[in-house]
Amino acid sequence: MVTRKSRREIEKMRQAGRIVAEVLALVESELKPGVSTAHLDRLAERHIRAAGAVPSFKGYGHRSNPFPASLCISIDEEVVHGIPGERMIRDGQIVSIDAGAIYDGWHGDGARTFLVGAPRPEVAQLVETTRLAMMAGIAAAVPGAHLADISAAVQDTAAPHGYGIVRQFVGHGIGTEMHQEPQVPNYRTGVRGMKLAPGICLAIEPMLTLGGPDVEVKPDGWTVVTADGSLAAHFEHTIAVTENGPEILTSV
């Protein structure tokens, strides 16, 4: 069921979102060749807890294989849900960081893909187009519009470049749970979907690749990679639909 949040509830989500934005900025300041993904994860968890929040991701999922970290760190062909560990960041890689925080029971969820060093121009364009696709989707989230308008805006930004648009993982509603209804595809489905109204909160998160759209999950049960080994980028903001249009909640 889709729930509309009150102003007070959105303020709680704004607090959670601000913590997420702070974590992403902190990671960006530390992200350089030779840094381990485990180090970045420890920094993130320390900041989230010091801010009075709880990491959304740590322990998430089925109890037989809960996610073991506070950040998802996905490198190069990894699309989402990469597990931090002792591997080191290398020059020329692209690194997607997904962060989540729970503040007083309410979630914030955001992601950015970072360039380490000086990647090839086509890689930098992939990353920037993914960011622009997210922003186009956000701009379409106005009262009276439909979910399909968000999906179309994302697809129309990505399609001219020929990028693969990942279909198996999509945006989502968010609130007292990290993943709520409705799902928010990044491509046209042929269905208009629900009408947007003030109080609806969504996580809009396009995932684009330099190759095809197909992905698979590695044996760890979490890390999603492109099926063809092509590079991938991922951006995400939590937003609230308001009377005046979309408000990004995952910003400082």
Is there a domain that residue 251 lies in? no
The 224-226 sheet, strands edge to edge = 78-80, 224-226, 215-217
Is there a domain that residue 33 lies in? yes
Mean pLDDT of 234-244: 98
Is there a domain that residue 28 lies in? yes
Give the residue numbers spanning the domain of 125.
Answer: 7-244
Any idea which of 60-64, 101-105, 157-161, 247-251 has the lowest mean pLDDT? Answer: 60-64
Is there a domain that residue 205 lies in? yes
pLDDT in tens, 105-150: 999 999 999 999 988 999 999 999 999 999 999 999 999 999 999 9
Is there a domain that residue 250 lies in? no
List CB contacts of 15: < 8 A, sequence separation 6 or more: 53, 103, 104, 106, 108
Mean pLDDT of 13-27: 98
Our count of domains for the chain comes to 1
Name the pairing type of β-strands 171-173 and 201-204. antiparallel
Is there a domain that residue 2 lies in? no
Question: Residue 239's domain is classified under what CATH number?
Answer: 3.90.230.10
